[in-house]
Amino acid sequence: MDGFVDFVVRAIYADAACDPTRAQPTPALARILCGPDSIHRATSNERFPSCTSDMGNGRLTIHVPASACAWQVNHCVGQQLVRWYLARHAYDGAKVDSIVRRIAAAVCVPTPAFQRAVAELGESIPALSDHFRVSQSLMALRLAECNGYPTALRTPTQIIVRGSFWDWPQTEVDWALLLQHARATGLTVRHLNDVRGRVVIRAR
- Distance (Å, rounded) from C-alpha 96 to C-alpha 189? 30
Higher-scoring residue by pLDDT: 44, 122: 122
Q: How many CB atoms lie within 10 A of CB 65?
A: 15
DSSP 125-156: HHHHHHHHT--HHHHHHHHHHHH---EEEE-S
Residues 5-27 pLDDT 10s:
999 999 999 999 999 999 999 99
Q: Rounded to the nearest 10 degrees, what angle do helices 136-147 and 125-132 cross at?
A: 100
Q: In sequence order, which ranges of the chain are alpha helices (DSSP H)?
A: 2-15, 26-34, 70-88, 97-108, 111-121, 125-132, 136-147, 172-180
What is the pTM (predicted TM-score) of this model? 0.89
Confidence of residue 49 (pLDDT cuts 50, 70, 90): very low
Sign of CA dihedral 156, 157, 163, 167: positive
Residues sharing a CB contact under 8 Å with residue 37, sequence separation 6 or more, in sequence order: 31, 61
Q: Is there a contact between 84 and 34 (Cβ–Cβ < 8 Å)?
A: yes
Containing 55, the helix (H) or strand (E) segment is strand 52-56
Residues 101-154 pLDDT 10s:
999 999 999 999 999 999 999 999 999 999 999 999 999 999 999 999 999 999
User: How confident is the model at residue 52, as a pLDDT?
Assistant: 54
CA neighbours within 13 Å on the CB side: how many for 110? Answer: 23
User: How confident is the model at residue 94, as a pLDDT?
Assistant: 66
- Distance (Å, rounded) from C-alpha 116 to C-alpha 114? 5
- Judging by DSSP bridges, how do beta strands 187-191 and 151-154 pair with one another? unpaired
Q: Is there a contact between 106 and 81 (Cβ–Cβ < 8 Å)?
A: no
The whole-number average pLDDT for the span 95-103 is 89
Residues 50-85 pLDDT 10s:
565 554 555 678 888 877 889 999 999 999 999 999
